[in-house]
């Protein structure tokens, strides 16, 4: 027994020692962090415990940091793990760091994956030497003499000119084919550099390696270097290399060394033979050998120069070509200049100084798209003051060249591509003007700038002079999006929490512990990645109504297109906000789950280049209003399944909160309520969404006008309303000016509409609008609801009055416009009649055209691609039929590129809202009674509003038109959750019959399988949210977090 205990103790000793060491190291790190926080520093966003702001950086950190600069100023700070990072985003801040205090900021932050770091050769590195010391100065001077001096540059010109013409000959073999400009430019630059450095070709223009995979290694080095590294976030963990990134870096370095080794060996042997031959060829490798450099030092320098010179140069050429393609007038001007100035068969470097406009084009594209948008990270070698902020010693400092190049304080019309701004400018690439620093400035400026500013314009001029360019498949160059489509990433964990918004404890669905869920805040054409974790006890799908998911119904989040996410599983949604703006919301789409929460706002902002049709508001508020039951969705489901009506709601919530106690009889004491804080005289945008179950609501703010400006992604003709009806699933934006005297706070009201008000008094949500100079609390009666509750003829005048603002720009710079119905060829007309719920096959069901839809076990498109027969039927009737009601899987077979007219005929007794996924539609008509063909005479043919959710009055009809240009399977449903649950929906199948034409995107790699395809499903169980940063073992990261928490406890 004693032996066993001794063995166990021995086995546990090393892990225990490691664990205690981690605790000590983290306690020490946290102590350093604490002292750092006590010093004044530049402002910045809230930093989360442990990770700081690391999760906010996304895939395009330069864009994220540029956006943060708009909030926190030109010099701000973030915390990445335990590292304080100061970010300079203006000319003034860059001048301070790169010029005025250049010596203090001459240190270099060296990432853990850099070979020179883990080889202990930082002092012999050109780019990653931590200090500007004697070794660094000697190495830089040597490279300057051999590679980058005027004499050296001139001596290399014939080689560069030859490689440029090699590129021309290769492209001519591809005439009429699609080529990738960046890959061609990469091969040309790489070949130039390897010949200058070691007189060898290592790749050809097919990017096939001559020397065993060099181009692949270079690209992999970029990928490893760009990956977020926990060793950089927490340097105390660097020895453990938790993500194996240093290991991968070593593998790549060894592959490069193996390729360089025979070249270096052959050169050393040749030098021994030709030692006395002064006439033998001398390149950079010869110089290094003559100076006594070791093989390892040579490997490091060659690798650094190749990595630094290839991707940046090819990126600059690619962006320049893209901008010129998008602006054909400038491309034509550049080509005319080349035609006038180049008289020989090939472009020579001596021609370049005469190409003034070409240089202007190149500078303009590098202003907008600097090859290194964040300059290599500096490090403060001492504490100092910058712009009245304290920068602690050893802080990492980033200069955001991307943000500086787009700063309106430095550039007129900064987002426009206008090469002519550089024609009469003495601005150069040398960093003399810190508003234009694609190569940096000061002691740490890129040493290769003299060479790059020869081969980049040479290759760009060659591409423009010898070839005419167009986009493949006839695409319009004006549709090229130059924003690089940044990606925004969110992690959603859906779980239950207990809250009491109406004074009764109840289980609600929260997103990341929040009810309602967090804002998804994007911009036109952003890519969106949302990692969803289902911690509910039932299946889940998230839907994004109004987000059109162009050609991508795989991400739509409804049962007809997606298999559900099982409990305790993760699934990632990935889609683009293609050509959209506006106010929307998301929610769980299955089985009345929205009635228990899980919803949150989704805002798509205009790109900065697109002007909004009103003055920029002073603030932006989101209000999620909706009727609410104190019974959760499972209880509501049970009611419907047993044939009962849901009955009157228990109240109305505003942003998940109950009503302000405006009436001591109706409202219990102690309820949390929503308060909106404003300043007098300012104008704010209110984005209001009805996220409720089934009740239309009237929205109003006491004493204030509501200026309607947008409905679900389309700007409206601006009209003032004292109150506005918002139906289930609808979203509206209002501008509200704070023009009252603030004698007291003001009521924000959302009350039930088209009901018996005396019976529904409690179904009223009340919040507070609080002026900063308010003199007291809100008291007295609520502002009156519209007086036409029982006069629906009058009520219908409000939606009929909404008009499209046809002169405003939407997601694109051209006006929104509107289709003129008289010029439209309607290919399909569907009259969809809804009836009150009835018993079908012994169950309470709701119908459209007599069909109560049953979601197929195998989603529609998945069934198509896998030849699953009988999953659904393409026989949905185009008009109501005189036959018994039935449950079925009938869908609409719509015509691609056709124009569908849908008549929504509400023969039910309740107000309904209808929604169409994948599309916006024009609301051309609305009236009472039964629609007939004569009703088309009342259509609005000129400026009808475009929406994705529209109300249909009981006993009336609404007509909508939609252009069917979005291939996929798209849900058409009633938004009232009770009717939707009971089957009042169908799908539109829109497939391009031309096999060579535009088709839907293929299924994503993580597509879920169910129904007849369930056997194909792989386990997608729990995945820690930190995987996006760790790129490795989530259990290890969890253990790491536990060690951090233990360290916090010890430290405290």
Binding-site members for heme are 446
Dihedral over Cα of 237, 238, 239, 245: its sign: positive
Cα dihedral value 694, 700, 705, 707, nearest 10? -20
Binding site per annotation, positions? 446
Spatial neighbors of 471 by CB under 8 A, at least 6 apart, are 325, 477, 480
Beta-strand pair 956-963/899-906:
antiparallel
Q: Is 499 exposed, middle or buried (0-12, 13-18, 19+ CB in 10 A)?
A: middle
Estimate to the nearest angstrom the gap between the alpha carbon of 93 and the chain centroid: 28
The CA–CA distances, whole Å, from 922 to 608, 916, 961, 985 equal 27, 11, 5, 20
Angle of helix 295-326 relative to helix 449-466, nearest 10 degrees?
A: 40
How far is residue 90's CA from residue 75's CA, in Å, rounded to a whole number? 8
Q: Can you tell me whether residue 364 is helix, strand or coil?
A: helix
CB atoms within 10 A of CB 1016: 12
Q: Which residue matches tokens 């710079």?
A: 813
CB-side neighbour CA atoms (13 Å) of 390? 9
| The pairing of beta strand 651-654 with beta strand 714-721 | unpaired
H or E stretch covering 124? none
The partner residues of 265 in beta bridges, in order of sequence, read none
CA 224 centroid distance within chain: 22
8 Å CB contact between 906 and 953: yes
Count of CA atoms in the C-beta half-sphere (13 A) of 728: 29
Orientation of helix 449-466 relative to helix 181-198, angle to 10°: 130
Neighbours of 356 (CB within 10 A): 14
C-alpha dihedral sign at 737, 740, 741, 747: negative
Task: Identify which of 612, 575, 869 has the alpha carbon closest to the alpha carbon of residue 716.
Answer: 612
Q: What are phi and psi of 540, to 5 degrees?
A: -145, 145
Cβ atoms of residues 490 and 518 within 8 Å: yes
DSSP state, residue 821: G
* C-alpha distances in Å from residue 1000, one per residue of 282, 327, 996, 1010: 57, 29, 12, 20
Residue that has been written with the tokens 């001007």 in this structure: 333
Residue with tokens 């529904």: 760
Burial state string for 617-635 with b = 16 or more CB within 10 A and e = fewer than 16? beebbbbbbbbbbebbbee
Could you give phi then psi for residue 23, rounded to 5 degrees?
Answer: -60, -45
Cβ-in-10-Å burial (0-12, 13-18, 19+) of 686 comes to: buried
Residue 169 tokens, joined: 């000959």
HSE of 879 in the Cβ direction (CA atoms, 13 Å)?
A: 7
Q: Bridge-partner residues for 951, per DSSP?
A: 913
Backbone angles phi, psi at 446, to 5 degrees: -65, 120
Kindly state the tokens that stand for 927: 């009236």
Which residue's entry shows tokens 């291939």? 967
Residue 406 has, within 13 A of its CA and on its CB side, a CA count of 22
Cα torsion angle, 580, 586, 590, 595, sign: negative
């Amino acid at each position: 027994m004693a032996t066993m205990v001794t063995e166990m103790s021995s086995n546990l000793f090393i892990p225990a020692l490691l664990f205690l060491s981690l605790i000590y190291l983290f306690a020490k790190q946290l102590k350093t962090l604490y002292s750092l926080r006590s010093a004044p520093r530049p402002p910045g966003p809230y930093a989360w415990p442990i990770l700081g702001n690391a999760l906010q950086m996304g895939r395009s950190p330069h864009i994220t940091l540029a956006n943060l600069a708009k909030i926190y100023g030109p010099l701000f700070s973030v915390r990445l793990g335990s590292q304080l990072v100061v970010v300079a985003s203006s000319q003034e801040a860059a001048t301070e760091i790169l010029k005025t205090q250049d010596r203090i900021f001459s240190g270099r932050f060296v990432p853990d994956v850099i070979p020179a770091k883990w080889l202990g050769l930082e002092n012999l590195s050109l780019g990653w030497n931590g200090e500007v010391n004697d070794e660094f100065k000697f190495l830089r001077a040597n490279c300057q003499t051999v590679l980058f001096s005027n004499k050296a540059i001139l001596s290399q010109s014939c080689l560069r000119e030859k490689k440029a013409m090699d590129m021309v000959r290769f492209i001519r073999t591809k005439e009429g084919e699609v080529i990738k400009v960046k890959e061609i430019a990469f091969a040309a630059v790489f070949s130039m550099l390897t010949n200058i450095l070691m007189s060898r070709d290592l790749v050809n223009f097919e990017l096939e390696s001559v020397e065993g995979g060099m181009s692949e290694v270079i690209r992999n080095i970029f990928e490893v270097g760009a990956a977020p590294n926990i060793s950089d976030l927490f340097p105390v963990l660097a020895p453990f290399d938790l993500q194996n990134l240093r290991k991968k870096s070593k593998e790549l370095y060894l592959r490069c060394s193996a390729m360089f080794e025979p070249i270096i060996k052959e050169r050393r042997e040749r030098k021994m033979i030709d030692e006395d031959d002064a006439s033998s060829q001398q390149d950079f490798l010869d110089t290094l050998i003559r100076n006594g450099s070791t093989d390892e030092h040579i490997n490091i320098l060659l690798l650094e120069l190749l990595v630094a010179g290839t991707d940046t140069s090819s990126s600059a050429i690619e962006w320049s070509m893209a901008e010129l393609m998008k602006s054909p007038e400038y491309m034509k001007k550049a080509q005319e200049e080349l035609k006038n100035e180049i008289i020989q068969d090939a472009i020579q470097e001596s021609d370049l100084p005469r190409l003034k406009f070409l240089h202007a084009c190149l500078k303009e594209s590098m202003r907008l798209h600097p090859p290194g948008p964040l300059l290599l990270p500096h490090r403060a070698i001492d504490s100092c003051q910058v712009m009245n902020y304290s920068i602690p010693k050893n802080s990492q400092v980033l200069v955001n060249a991307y943000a500086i190049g787009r700063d309106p304080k430095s550039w007129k019309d900064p987002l426009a591509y206008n090469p002519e701004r550089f024609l009469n400018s003495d601005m150069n690439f040398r960093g003399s003007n810190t508003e234009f620093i694609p190569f940096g400035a000061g002691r740490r400026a890129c040493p290769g700038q003299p060479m790059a500013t020869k081969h980049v314009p040479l290759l760009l001029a060659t591409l423009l002079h010898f070839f005419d360019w167009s986009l493949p498949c006839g695409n319009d160059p004006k549709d090229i999006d130059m924003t690089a489509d940044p990606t925004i990433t969110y992690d959603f964990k859906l779980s239950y929490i207990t809250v009491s918004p109406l004074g009764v404890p109840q289980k609600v669905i929260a997103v990341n512990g929040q009810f309602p869920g967090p804002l998804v805040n994007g911009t036109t054409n952003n890519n969106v990645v949302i990692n969803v974790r289902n911690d509910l006890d039932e299946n889940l799908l998230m839907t994004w109504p109004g987000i059109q998911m162009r050609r991508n119904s795989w991400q739509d989040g409804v049962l007809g297109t997606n298999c559900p996410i099982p409990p305790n599983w993760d699934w990632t949604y990935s889609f683009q906000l293609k050509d959209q703006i506006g106010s929307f919301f998301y929610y769980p789409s299955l089985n009345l789950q929205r009635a228990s929460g899980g919803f949150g706002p989704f805002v798509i902002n205009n790109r900065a280049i697109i002007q909004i049709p009103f003055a920029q508001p002073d603030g932006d508020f989101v209000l999620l209003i909706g009727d609410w039951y104190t019974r959760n969705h499972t209880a509501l489901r049970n009611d419907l399944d047993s044939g009962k009506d849901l009955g009157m709601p228990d109240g109305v919530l505003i942003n998940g909160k109950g009503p302000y106690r405006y009436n001591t009889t109706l409202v219990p004491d102690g309820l949390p309520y929503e308060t909106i804080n404003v300043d007098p005289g300012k104008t704010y945008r209110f984005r209001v969404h009805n996220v409720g179950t089934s009740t239309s609501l009237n929205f109003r703010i006491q004493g204030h006008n509501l200026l309607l400006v947008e409905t679900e992604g389309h700007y409206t003709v601006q009209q003032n309303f004292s109150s506005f009806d918002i139906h289930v699933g609808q979203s509206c934006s209002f501008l509200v000016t704070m023009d009252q005297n603030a004698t007291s706070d003001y009521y924000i009201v959302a009350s039930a509409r088209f009901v018996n008000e005396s019976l529904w008094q409690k179904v009223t949500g009340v919040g507070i609008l609080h002026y900063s100079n308010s003199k007291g609390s809100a008291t007295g009666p609520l502002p009156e609801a519209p007086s036409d509750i029982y006069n629906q003829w009058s009520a219908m005048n409000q939606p009929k009055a909404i008009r499209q603002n046809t002169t405003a720009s939407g997601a694109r710079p051209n006006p929104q416009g509107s289709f003129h119905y008289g010029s439209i060829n309607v290919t399909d007309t569907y009259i969809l009649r809804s009836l009150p719920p009835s018993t079908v096959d012994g169950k309470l069901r709701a119908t459209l055209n007599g069909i109560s839809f049953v979601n197929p076990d195998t989603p529609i498109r998945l069934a198509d691609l896998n030849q699953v027969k009988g999953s659904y039927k393409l026989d949905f009737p185009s008009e109501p039929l005189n036959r018994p009601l039935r449950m079925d899987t009938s869908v609409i077979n719509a015509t691609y590129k056709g124009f569908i007219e849908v008549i929504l005929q509400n023969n039910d007794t309740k107000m309904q809202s209808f929604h169409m996924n994948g599309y916006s539609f024009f609301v051309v008509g609305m009236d009472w009674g039964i629609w007939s063909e004569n009703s088309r005479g009342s259509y609005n043919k000129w400026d009808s509003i475009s929406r994705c959710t529209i109300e249909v009055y009981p006993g009336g009809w609404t007509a909508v038109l939609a252009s069917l240009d979005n291939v996929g399977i798209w849900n058409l449903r009633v938004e009232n959750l009770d009717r939707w649950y009971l089957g009042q929906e169908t799908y539109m199948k829109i497939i391009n019959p031309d096999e060579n034409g535009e088709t839907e995107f293929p299924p994503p790699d993580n597509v879920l399988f169910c129904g007849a395809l369930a056997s194909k499903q792989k386990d997608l169980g729990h995945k820690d949210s930190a995987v996006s940063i760790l790129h490795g073992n989530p259990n290890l990261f969890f253990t790491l977090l536990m060690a951090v928490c233990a360290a916090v406890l010890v430290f405290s």
